[in-house]
């Protein structure tokens, strides 16, 4: 069932709740791919009813980012959700979510602002305000759907850590489930932004998984010094790669480490054909 209004979603979900159903929410910005479908499948395996939100959230994009050209494929998304047995696709307009005439700044809208430490690192260093926008829309979705479980992908590892922190700090009654990264056979992590890449760009984009796999191999061979591990990456880079960051941090707290351990995660953001791609790997698994 495709729903556009908050009231309709609330009505249906309230009915489910009185019938004792467990409700799962998979928040997405649409342009669904196999990564999203893995979240939906996981939700279906745990919950009686599954809601997928399909909303390109304007307030998580910076002024020079790709909000306007972000792929919008609602018809295909609906077909895919249908095949997976999704109960509701919630596809609101920006007006439904944020009201008419809102200038979407924190002068006019109540924002959820995660702690500085969590947003002033990794993706947050260049995507100013991004995680405020993410947390704000995710909390709104939690309040609208009131799910028992919500499902997020490990590819956005920083996002999941920040959302878990928000849920804990604000006592939101939802359990966050993180699902593994889904990759193409080549190793490229699935992302809606892969659509922007040419065939050659897709090959160049393999550098992300190569760098991360190599770091993990080196760690498994006994190299733990974080600088030494990061150094191993540079030989993979060419002039087609614009590295924004490569970090090895604690997988639960994002704290920096000087020596990697089984609790570490290596994360990177690299631009290929001016498309910003992210990927990560747990060193301990
Ligand atoms: O990960 C995403 O697609 C978005 O950041 C999310 C969680 C749907 C919020 O808009």
Q: Are residues 100 and 32 in the same domain?
A: yes
Average of per-residue pLDDT across 61-69: 94
Is residue 186 situated within a structural domain? Answer: no
Domain carrying residue 123: 2-179
DSSP tag of 175: E
57 touches ligand 1 (CB under 6 Å)? yes
State residue 108's pLDDT score: 79
State residue 104's pLDDT score: 63
**pLDDT of residue 82 exceeding 70:** yes
What CATH number corresponds to the domain at position 165?
3.40.50.620
Q: Are residues 122 and 199 in the same domain?
A: no
Each residue's pLDDT tens digit, 164-218:
999 999 999 999 999 999 999 999 999 999 999 999 999 999 999 999 999 999 9
Q: Say how many domains are in the chain.
A: 2
Q: Are residues 119 and 211 in the same domain?
A: no
Say how many C-beta atoms besides its own lie within 10 A of residue 14's C-beta. 11
Measured by CA distance, the residue closest to atom 3 of ligand 1 is 28
Q: Whole-angstrom Cα distance, residue 7 to residue 1?
A: 14
Q: Whole-angstrom Cα distance, residue 205 to residue 5?
A: 38
134 touches ligand 1 (CB under 6 Å)? yes
Residue 101 confidence class, pLDDT cut points 50, 70, 90: low
What CATH number corresponds to the domain at position 239?
3.30.1300.10
Each residue's pLDDT tens digit, 118-171:
999 999 999 999 999 999 999 999 999 999 999 999 999 999 999 999 999 999
Q: Are residues 219 and 116 in the same domain?
A: no
State residue 281's pLDDT score: 98
Say how many C-beta atoms besides its own lie within 10 A of residue 240's C-beta. 15
Residue 13 confidence class, pLDDT cut points 50, 70, 90: very high
Each residue's pLDDT tens digit, 228-252:
999 999 999 999 999 999 999 999 9
- The answer to whether the predicted template modeling score (pTM) of the entire model surpasses 0.95 is yes
Q: Whole-angstrom Cα distance, residue 186 to residue 279?
A: 14
Cα 259 to ligand 1 centre (Å): 32
154 touches ligand 1 (CB under 6 Å)? no
C-alpha dist (Å) from residue 45 to 4, 21, 177: 25, 13, 12
Q: Whole-angstrom Cα distance, residue 236 to residue 239?
A: 10
């Amino acid at each position: 069932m495709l729903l556009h209004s908050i009231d309709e979603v609330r009505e249906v979900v309230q009915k489910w709740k009185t019938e004792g159903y467990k409700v799962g929410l998979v928040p997405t910005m649409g342009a669904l791919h196999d990564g999203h479908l893995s979240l939906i499948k996981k939700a279906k395996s745990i919950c009686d009813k599954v809601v997928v939100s399909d909303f390109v959230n304007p307030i998580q994009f910076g002024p020079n980012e790709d909000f306007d050209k972000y792929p919008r494929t609602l018809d295909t998304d609906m077909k895919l959700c249908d095949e997976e047995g999704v109960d509701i696709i919630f596809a609101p307009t920006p007006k439904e979510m944020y009201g008419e005439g809102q200038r979407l700044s924190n002068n006019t809208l109540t924002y959820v602002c995660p702690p500085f430490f969590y947003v002033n690192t990794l993706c947050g260093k260049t995507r100013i305000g991004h995680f405020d926008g993410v947390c704000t829309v995710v909390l709104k979705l939690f309040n609208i759907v009131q799910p028992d479980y919500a499902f997020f992908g490990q590819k956005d590892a920083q996002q999941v850590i920040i959302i878990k922190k928000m849920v804990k700090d604000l006592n939101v009654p939802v359990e966050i489930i993180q699902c593994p990264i889904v990759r193409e056979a080549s190793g490229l992590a699935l992302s809606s932004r892969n659509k922007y890449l040419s065939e050659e760009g897709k090959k160049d984009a393999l550098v992300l998984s190569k760098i991360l796999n190599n770091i993990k191999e080196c760690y498994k061979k006994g190299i733990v010094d974080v600088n030494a591990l990061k150094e191993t990456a540079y030989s993979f880079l060419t002039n087609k790669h614009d590295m924004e960051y490569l970090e090895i941090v604690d997988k639960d707290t994002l704290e920096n480490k000087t020596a990697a351990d089984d609790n570490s995660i290596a994360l990177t953001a690299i631009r290929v054909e001016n498309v910003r791609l992210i990927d990560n790997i747990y060193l301990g698994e």
